[in-house]
Each structure stands twice: as C-alpha cells, then as structure tokens.
Amino acid sequence: MAEVVLFHHVQGLTPGVVAFADELRAAGHTVHTPDLFDGRTFDSLDEGAEFAGQVGFGEIAARGVRAADPLPRDVVYAGFSLGALPAQKLAQTRPGARGALLMHACVPVSEFGAAWPEQVPVQVHAMEDDPFFTEDADAARALVAEAPAAELFLYPGDRHLFADRSLPSHDAEAAGLLTRRAVAFLGSVDGGTRA
C-alpha cells in the first residue's frame, strides 16, 4: 500500500485531520501526520492564520520539508489548505514522489521554480465557491492543463475546510466523496512505477 505524508491546515493538527489520516490507514495505507505547529491548534481560521503569519509561510513549508527528510522518498504528499504548500513543494522538487493530494489549496507551479514532474500524478480537491480557493482555482486549472496525470475535483458549496470533521465547516457528503477519491488515488499510485 502507499505511504503518505499528510500536512495539516492553518488550524493545526486537529482531530479531524487525524481522523482523515485514520481513514486512509483503515484502507491499508501508512500515513504520517507531522505537526508543523508544535502541538498548537486554533479555534478559527483567523487565529491560525495570525500564528502562521508570525511563523512565516516560508518557514512552515521548510518545516514540512524537514519533517519529510527522514522518510522514504517514494511517498505521496498530501495537505489540507496551508498544508498543501509543503505537500506541493515536496511533490514538485523532491525526487521519488509517488503522487500528491492537494485539498482546499493549490499554488502556481512556478512558486517552487520547477515544472510539475510528468511522472507524478496529482489531485486537487476544493469547493467551487470556497472564497479561500478563488485565487487557487486558476493555479489548479493551470496545473491540470500542464500535468499529464492531474485532476481537479470541485464540490458544490462554499466551505473551506470541509473535509475536517472536527470543524463547523465540515460537509459529510463532500468529505466522504473526497475520501473515497483519495483512497482510490492511493490505490492507483501504489502499483505504479517509482519516479
């Protein structure tokens, strides 16, 4: 089965992120959930964003890279919102990536100074009217146009962290579909050729 590094969102390593990881584990995958906030969680997006701003988004991405350093290179990188930043950076720049799952966010491929690796499949998941995803939507569409094995899944609604069951923004139907698609994606990359 696939090995996954799952990075949390701006509210921290919440019970909902852990629950998502547990669902992937229940499907037979190994999932690592590094805590980029050193145990801190936040009750709101604003509080988490303020903390992330103080730490620095570049530093958070660097923490993600450091967290992945001791792990095998042939993993799938996954991230919720802010966590998509280190996930996307690693998938683009660390040789050996098996795939990427970017949930609630996507940044322009040029952000990391490298084209998307042709051999690395990627899925982007977000709600179509999520105000936090508005700018990211263009980056996601460009990624799908550029990468041979890229898919963009847009769900009805306007919630941001809809896949985190511990938050009020959770949408059970959309989250269930995202999870099923993620499990199928992990199953497809598990048997693929290593990059």
Determine, yes or no, domain membership for 76.
yes
pLDDT tens-digit readout, 17-58: 999 999 999 999 999 999 999 999 999 999 999 999 999 988
Q: Report how far residue 170's alpha carbon sits from residue 86's, in angstroms, rounded to the nearest whole number.
A: 23
- Write down the pTM of the prediction: 0.94
Determine, yes or no, domain membership for 193.
no
Q: Name the pLDDT band for 114 (thresholds 50, 70, 90).
A: confident
Determine, yes or no, domain membership for 194.
no
Q: What CATH number did the domain enclosing 102 receive?
A: 3.40.50.1820
What pLDDT score does 94 carry? 94
Determine, yes or no, domain membership for 69.
yes
Residue 91 structural domain: 3-188
Determine, yes or no, domain membership for 97.
yes
Determine, yes or no, domain membership for 82.
yes
Determine, yes or no, domain membership for 195.
no
Residues 6+ apart with CB under 8 A from 148: 118
Give me the chain's average pLDDT, please: 94
Q: What b/e readout covers 36-75, taking b as 16+ CB neighbours within 10 angstroms?
A: bbeeebbeebeebbebbeeeeeeebbebbeebbeebeebb
**Domains of the chain: total:** 1
Q: Report how far residue 128's alpha carbon sits from residue 137's, in angstroms, rounded to the nearest whole number.
A: 8
What pLDDT score does 191 carry? 55
Q: Work out the widest C-alpha separation in the chain, in whole angstroms.
A: 42
pLDDT tens-digit readout, 48-91: 999 999 999 889 989 999 999 999 999 999 999 999 999 999 99
